Amino acid sequence: MASFWLLPIQFNVLLPPTTLNSSQVTTLLKQISLTTGAEVVFKSMCFEMHGLEYEVRAAVNMILELDIVKVLSSLPYQNGVCTDGTLRN
């Protein structure tokens, strides 16, 4: 199991937080699941992946390559991959 969080680097009361909702990523989730074999869900700015280790690793790599994640990473957010309770930047 792995979680890929889109975490805020800083909080700014003048700027509304950038968020995604499940309907915006539904097609991407299905594509990632079909390609990798991992079960992938998105909730509260977090991608969760379940499956065998190689399936989960492939899903994380696909998420890292998503344009929508690259756009958000250029905003005041930081990408983090939390696997087994450890946060990696």
In this predicted structure, what is the pLDDT of residue 56?
Answer: 95
Burial class (CB in 10 A: 0-12, 13-18, 19+), 45: middle
In this predicted structure, what is the pLDDT of residue 79?
Answer: 44
User: Which has the closest alpha carbon to 87: 25, 5, 10?
Assistant: 5
23 versus 75: the higher-pLDDT residue is 23
Span 19-74, pLDDT tens digits: 776 777 888 999 999 999 999 999 888 899 999 999 999 999 999 888 777 666 55
Domains of the chain: which residue ranges? 2-88
User: Which has the closest alpha carbon to 67: 34, 35, 20?
Assistant: 20
